[in-house]
Structure 1
Amino acid sequence: MKKKTLNIIKNDPWLEPYSAAIIGRHEDALRKEQELCGPDGKLDSFANAHNYFGLHRQADGSWVFREWAPNATGITLVGDFSKWKQLKKYALKPKANGVWELKLKPDAMSHGDYYKMIVSWDGGSGERIPAYATRVVQDETTHLFSAQVWAPEAYKWKVKRFRPDTRPLLIYECHIGMAQEKEGIGTYVEFRDKILPRIAADGYNAIQIMAIQEHPYYGSFGYHVSSFYAPSSRFGTPEELKSLIDRAHELGIAVIMDIVHSHAVKNEVEGLGRLDGSYDQYFYGDGRREHPAWDSLCFDYGKNDVINFLLSNCKYWLQEFRFDGFRFDGVTSMLYYSHGLGQAFGSYDDYYDGGEDTNAITYLTLANKLIHEINPHAITIAEEMSGMPGLAVPVKDGGIGFDYRMAMGIPDYWIKTLKEKKDEDWHPTSIFWELTNRRADEKTISYVESHDQALVGDKTVIFRLIDKEMYWHMMKDDDNMAVARGMALHKMIRLVTASTINGGYLNFMGNEFGHPEWIDFPREGNGWSYKYARRQWDLVDRKELKYDQLNNFDNAMIHLISGVYNFQSLPVVKLWEKDDDQVLAYMRGDLVFVFNFNPVKAFTGYGVLAPAGEYEVVLSTDSADFGGYGNIDESVRHLTQTDPLFAPSGREWLRLYMPPRSAQVLRLLRPEPKKPKRTPKK
């Protein structure tokens, strides 16, 4: 293969010195695909472990159960059906390649029965949850987990086919359990009936759901997974999750699953830790087994059985639940032997110095290829902070194949700015560079803050801006300067971030209206309280509070952006930036975005060079509806003024009144095309 055949290298000549590594990774993935599927096979035909392993009801009503456990010397199912005793009737028989199998008559177990495996190995034995269990439930009294026989009538989907709208992709990141007002755990049904209508009204066209895969510790936010094929039973049944997804599709909302393939919980009874008694069945057996920062276990992506387990997991969620794609968690940790810890990633050398986990890169490449093979319209997003080139480049072009990568530097930039800079030191040149500095061949998801910035020990943007004043001064008739500043910057930060996207925009639930305080799940340190593990929707529903105004602005911003077809693909054309004035202006399509970050100066007749024509104001952060002062007259139309100096460029002076800490969006009015005259009939 010639190095020029890969578009990733063609599109970025700076990658030329690393072409051997890039081509090598690409060929590794192709070789592994052929090894798994055969010369003419497809990944879709290979990734079917979930249809073979686990518990399945046959067409004649009988049952078959299989488990991959190469180190086991014996496996027996115990459960309600055996009065939790080890009966010979429920003992599995060994087959080839570490597979164990049990076939049972129809009356041997029933829908709803609880069960586990008793696995024996040389030197020990223990209770285990099957690796491919699709329903796992925690006992409220003992807090122990059991698998559950789950064979209800097939769910009848209302929406047969759904295609996500990604032009642009506007994501509402959410958590089922903490989505409700109550101090407790919310359900799939409550989310479907109470929260989805809010999201639809807000204008977002996708939800990204966290904590779907079963996890023993609720406070892990779903990132310490134990049962990879089981939707968390804390929130309801699998059918209720399907109903949620079905309803979202009815509302035109895509459903993205936050999938965790980067590591697994260490628990041995509930998880995969030592399912067959060995340490290296699913995970590395050496010093790489335990993640040094996350107190979890690292998958061995070099094993075909592990690849099959994870690829089949992607296929299972896509087909069984009709998720529209995945946000892969912890991709940086997967890509490097160091998990990216303590590395600066300051140059291309850092991505090709031999510290990359080629097995993990191969797995991610195959996962993206499989997902898009099953559903060409599926969405894949990488949570990755190192900036590895090619992550969101198609596999055929030499990339790893994600559709988007999270722009994780943007929230870090905003937090750093809020913590370290005075308002008068905010520089538009820095803001614009940070928001638009990205690889031309990779799409990103931009965001001000996700769930990460809302966790206890950190602060949301609104709380950094207003802090304790939020508790006392959020009534609409209370003109508190700290609140006024915070609301103004909250709106401006979101508008400048959302309007410069090159792929999509993400918001964590409640942050659109400035949800106060932090997220803190029940734990011993807080008395197992749910006070901070919920969303206080009454704050935005109460019209006497200013949260309503922030929500109104977010709605207007999202609807404005989504109203422009392929907004994310329009070039961002800088029109003006002046750090001493703290003014920034740029154009996308017919929309001009103008920001005055200056905390004290209002400008009258301030000139911005823009395409000649007439403009109307379509959005103002200073609108009284959004908690502003209403100093921008939105009814005024603006005609540009000619300047001979700039006449050859087609730009003229667009002169505006700009209050301090305000932004406005103007639309260039295009003359309607003249209708052709109709020739009268003779």
Structure 2
Amino acid sequence: MSAPHLPQQPDSGTNNQSQTGEIPSIFSEFDLYLFGQGKHFYLYEKMGAHPRVVDGVEGVNFAVWAPNARAISVIGDFNGWNRSTNLMELRHQELGVWETFIPGLREGALYKYAIYSRNNNYTADKIDPYAFASELRPNTASIVQDIRHHQWQDAAWLEQRAQRQDLNAPLSIYEVHLGSWRHVPERHVPGAAEEDRFMTYRELAPALTDYVKAHGFTHIELLPITEYPFDGSWGYQCTGYYAPTSRFGTPEDFQYFIDYVHQAGIGVILDWVPSHFPKDGHALAYFDGTHLYEHPDPRKGEHKEWGTYVFDYGRSEVRNFLVASALFWLREYHIDGLRVDAVASMLYLDYLRPAGEWIPNEHGGREHLEAVTFLQQLNEAVYAEVPGAVTIAEESSAWPLVTRPTYVGGLGFTHKWNMGWMHDMLEYMKLDPIYRRNYHNNITFSLMYAYSENYVLPLSHDEVVHIKGSMINKMPGDLWQKFANLRAFYGYMWGHPGKKLLFMGGEFGQWAEWNYKESLDWHLLAPPSDPHHAQLLDFISRLNQVYQDEPALSALDCDPAGFSWIDPHDSDNSVISFLRRSKDDEDTLLFISNFTPVPRQGYRLGVPASGIYYEILNSDDARYGGSHLLNSEDMTSEPIPWQSGSRSIVLTLPPLATIILKRRPGTIGSEPEPLEEQVPTSSDHPSGDPS
């Protein structure tokens, strides 16, 4: 927006006090030093708009970083958006920090910065990059907000958080887009009078918490709620790095939401996006008439595929802006972890860029060295400043040491999404079972690298959009087979090493792809809808219960000693079997998945020790919509070595199913020792081949 004239600007000073000496700067010399170094982790307490009392006068202090501006004024509803009324002073010339104090101003005031650049007479009205609140889209003004009103009641959760989020603790994540989880009223409700709308943070608090807790998830992961202008970006094109979106309420409402979830014993992970930002004119782009936050060279500062800018990670003030934002959510909103989006796009200079449209690093390579430094600084700051919090990388390449400490050259994340496992398994599950024998490696390959990082197994929102089909619609076969396939897949996934993540709707088999504009199809869970949906949800609840109750599924989750194959080679039958262990042999679980619709009677399975084995979960149980081909009787091991086991049992494998077995406590050595060694014969193997 052009201005009719340039406001009269006072001479700039370089000390911590205005020329008149009336209003002292909010910044100390140490604040400025840390900011210049990129290490002021509480910078949000200085930058932005803060209610303040100066010489007994209440008002609001404003501070903004704009080193290439020649004049700035604060405009808002309190001065008729007049650019000449509230001018800012360049208090700290070397860093380019501008300040002013407006007496009498209070919370709730709308404001922007009217910026006049030294560059080409550029003028623009910009939001506050450090604003704590924003107007509801399509309006874009920042809002003066004090975020310290909420009285937190989640001390008990915070005290146990580090233990609950330990690498060897169960982590079952329910990924949620707040705008489409559930609307008021729900779709398909006959006679609903109220207009379809988002639920608020305060409405979501009990509804979402109760649902997640009832079905056994340990954490909720929120798609980005950092303020964003375009609904269709799902929050991944963020403009407000310190403001929860106003779509669902106020900052205090969001704090209430987090507090409520914590009091129920559920953790909250936030998707956070330091990889790119939109070009919207009111936000960070070309902030002071120069490429201040983005890298100035489009070959390094722009994602053409996404239409967004890339942060200049080599600039200390930009790194400070981002690291302080990450810590802000963890401290001020008690968020338990950050899932960092699109890490691969940060690590590689040639990411989605053809030859000639990217710049090699100083060594001639494709690695973005400044981004690597930023990510390491981010993770070091999180672990030092917020003990017990976690960081999760969505990193889709084979970059090494993503979850290893920075002091050994790693990036320092707690976990990494296992995108390779996800792609392999979805490709496998889409196949007609008759062809799966030829793709057996898709199931087994992930164990070649399962302990190279600390993994999360993700079935995320990205897998159920853009004509990829919902989880249930990826499965082949008729109605019964689709649900059987999905239950077998989930059962195998919960047994596989790594934390679990499932996007909303996948837990009850929603047929439709995810649509960010609409609520989930909750009507599928109520009569007269097909009962398979409610039965699938029941199965997920039971899986999560087993996951939390059984130490073998988490106690050695990041240790190769926690897993071993029983038989990874039975490709002819599309069957895999493996063990999960804890430090106590009594906890050992046996997982067997049959990925064909063929029941297999008399299937001999190797077991690790003598004893009596029983079935603790069977995805083919009629309770879950299966054919009810169960192993209801105890199975006593026989002294017949088989597969990788020193003993073996005989059981029934139901069609398209995963079953979990456990040895009854105190039954080691319960079967009689043989009079002579028994040698397995071909008749003992369901395929007729003892090899």
TM-score, normalisation: structure 2: 0.81
Query: 1 CA distance for matches of 2:97 and 2:354?
Result: 43
* Cα 1:331–1:76 shift into 2, 3 Å: same
Displacement of 1:435 in angstroms is: 3.5
- Contact 1:214 / 1:226 at 8 angstroms: preserved in 2? yes
AA at the equivalent of 1:154: H
Q: Which has the higher helix share?
A: 1
Q: Could you tell me which residue of structure 1 aligns to residue 60 of structure 2?
A: 63
Matches within 5 A, 1:428-467: 429-438=440-449, 440-447=451-458, 449-465=459-475
Q: Could you tell me which residue of structure 2 aligns to residue 333 of structure 1?
A: 345
Q: Could you tell me which residue of structure 2 aligns to residue 559 of structure 1?
A: 545
Query: 1 CA distance for matches of 2:295 and 2:317?
Result: 11
* Cα 1:94–1:596 shift into 2, 3 Å: same
State the Cα deviation string for residues 357-380 of structure 1 (Å, max 9, x = none). Answer: 010000000100000111221111
What SS class does the counterpart of residue 262 from structure 2 fall into? helix
Q: Could you tell me which residue of structure 2 aligns to residue 677 of structure 1?
A: none
Q: Could you tell me which residue of structure 2 aligns to residue 278 of structure 1?
A: 290
AA at the equivalent of 1:362: T
Q: Could you tell me which residue of structure 2 aligns to residue 101 of structure 1?
A: 98
Displacement of 1:70 in angstroms is: 0.9
Q: Could you tell me which residue of structure 1 aligns to residue 40 of structure 2?
A: 46
- Contact 1:261 / 1:310 at 8 angstroms: preserved in 2? yes
What SS class does the counterpart of residue 308 from structure 2 fall into? coil
State the Cα deviation string for residues 126-162 of structure 1 (Å, max 9, x = none). Answer: 11101111111135xxx23111111366110001234
Q: Does 1:151 align with 2:133?
A: no
Q: Could you tell me which residue of structure 2 aligns to residue 116 of structure 1?
A: 112
Tell me the percent identity: 26
Query: 1 CA distance for matches of 2:652 and 2:281?
Result: 65
- Contact 1:284 / 1:299 at 8 angstroms: preserved in 2? no
1:574 aligned to 565, 582, 592, which one?
Answer: 565
AA at the equivalent of 1:641: E
AA at the equivalent of 1:221: W
What SS class does the counterpart of residue 44 from structure 2 fall into? helix
Matches within 5 A, 1:292-441: 292-339=304-351, 354-419=365-430, 422-426=433-437, 429-438=440-449, 440-441=451-452
Query: 2 CA distance for matches of 1:102 and 1:84?
Result: 18
Matches within 5 A, 1:597-636: 597-599=595-597, 601-611=598-608, 612-634=610-632, 636=633
Displacement of 1:342 in angstroms is: 7.5
1:177 aligned to 174, 179, 196, which one?
Answer: 179
What SS class does the counterpart of residue 436 from structure 1 fall into? helix
Q: Could you tell me which residue of structure 2 aligns to residue 29 of structure 1?
A: none
Q: Could you tell me which residue of structure 2 aligns to residue 3 of structure 1?
A: none
* Cα 1:40–1:151 shift into 2, 3 Å: closer
What SS class does the counterpart of residue 362 from structure 1 fall into? helix
Query: 1 CA distance for matches of 2:521 and 2:625?
Result: 20
Displacement of 1:429 in angstroms is: 4.1
Q: Does 1:221 align with 2:234?
A: yes
AA at the equivalent of 1:263: H
Displacement of 1:431 in angstroms is: 4.0
What SS class does the counterpart of residue 89 from structure 1 fall into? coil
AA at the equivalent of 2:570: K
Q: Could you tell me which residue of structure 1 aligns to residue 575 of structure 2?
A: 583
Query: 2 CA distance for matches of 1:567 and 1:383?
Result: 23
* Cα 1:420–1:539 shift into 2, 3 Å: closer
Displacement of 1:637 in angstroms is: 0.8
- Contact 1:179 / 1:191 at 8 angstroms: preserved in 2? no
What SS class does the counterpart of residue 578 from structure 1 fall into? coil
AA at the equivalent of 2:538: N
- Contact 1:340 / 1:386 at 8 angstroms: preserved in 2? no
Displacement of 1:561 in angstroms is: 1.2
Displacement of 1:418 in angstroms is: 4.2
Q: Does 1:596 align with 2:598?
A: no
* Cα 1:579–1:613 shift into 2, 3 Å: same
Q: What RMSD over aligned residues (CA atoms) do the two structures have, in Å? A: 2.8
Query: 1 CA distance for matches of 2:91 and 2:225?
Result: 32
* Cα 1:490–1:258 shift into 2, 3 Å: same
Query: 1 CA distance for matches of 2:336 and 2:219?
Result: 9
What SS class does the counterpart of residue 46 from structure 1 fall into? coil
Q: Could you tell me which residue of structure 2 aligns to residue 83 of structure 1?
A: 80
Q: Does 1:548 align with 2:534?
A: yes
AA at the equivalent of 1:417: Y
State the Cα deviation string for residues 503-551 of structure 1 (Å, max 9, x = none). Answer: x110111211112211234xxxxxxxx3xx3212232244853210000
AA at the equivalent of 1:170: S
After the TM superposition, which parts of structure 1 deviate over 6 Å for at least 4 consecutive aligned residues? 36-41
The more displaced of 431-440 and 186-195 is 431-440
- Contact 1:66 / 1:99 at 8 angstroms: preserved in 2? no
- Contact 2:175 / 2:503 at 8 angstroms: preserved in 1? yes
Q: Could you tell me which residue of structure 2 aligns to residue 13 of structure 1?
A: none
What SS class does the counterpart of residue 82 from structure 1 fall into? coil
Q: Does 1:539 align with 2:524?
A: yes
Matches within 5 A, 1:223-238: 223-238=236-251
State the Cα deviation string for residues 68-125 of structure 1 (Å, max 9, x = none). Answer: 0011111111111102222333444453234343333541x22112111111113121
What SS class does the counterpart of residue 635 from structure 2 fall into? strand
Displacement of 1:286 in angstroms is: 4.3
* Cα 1:77–1:212 shift into 2, 3 Å: same
Q: Does 1:134 align with 2:104?
A: no
Q: Could you tell me which residue of structure 2 aligns to residue 476 of structure 1?
A: none
* Cα 1:488–1:168 shift into 2, 3 Å: same
Query: 2 CA distance for matches of 1:664 and 1:518?
Result: 29
Query: 2 CA distance for matches of 1:432 and 1:387?
Result: 19
- Contact 1:428 / 1:584 at 8 angstroms: preserved in 2? no
What SS class does the counterpart of residue 78 from structure 2 fall into? helix
State the Cα deviation string for residues 2-45 of structure 1 (Å, max 9, x = none). Answer: xxxxxxxxxxxxxxxxxxxxxxxxxxxxxxxxxx999999x997
* Cα 1:427–1:168 shift into 2, 3 Å: farther
Displacement of 1:609 in angstroms is: 0.7
The structure showing larger relative contact order (alpha-carbon pairs under 8 Å, at least 6 residues apart) is: 1
* Cα 1:498–1:427 shift into 2, 3 Å: farther
What SS class does the counterpart of residue 252 from structure 1 fall into? coil
Q: Could you tell me which residue of structure 2 aligns to residue 524 of structure 1?
A: none
* Cα 1:563–1:332 shift into 2, 3 Å: same
Query: 2 CA distance for matches of 1:560 and 1:281?
Result: 47
* Cα 1:171–1:39 shift into 2, 3 Å: same
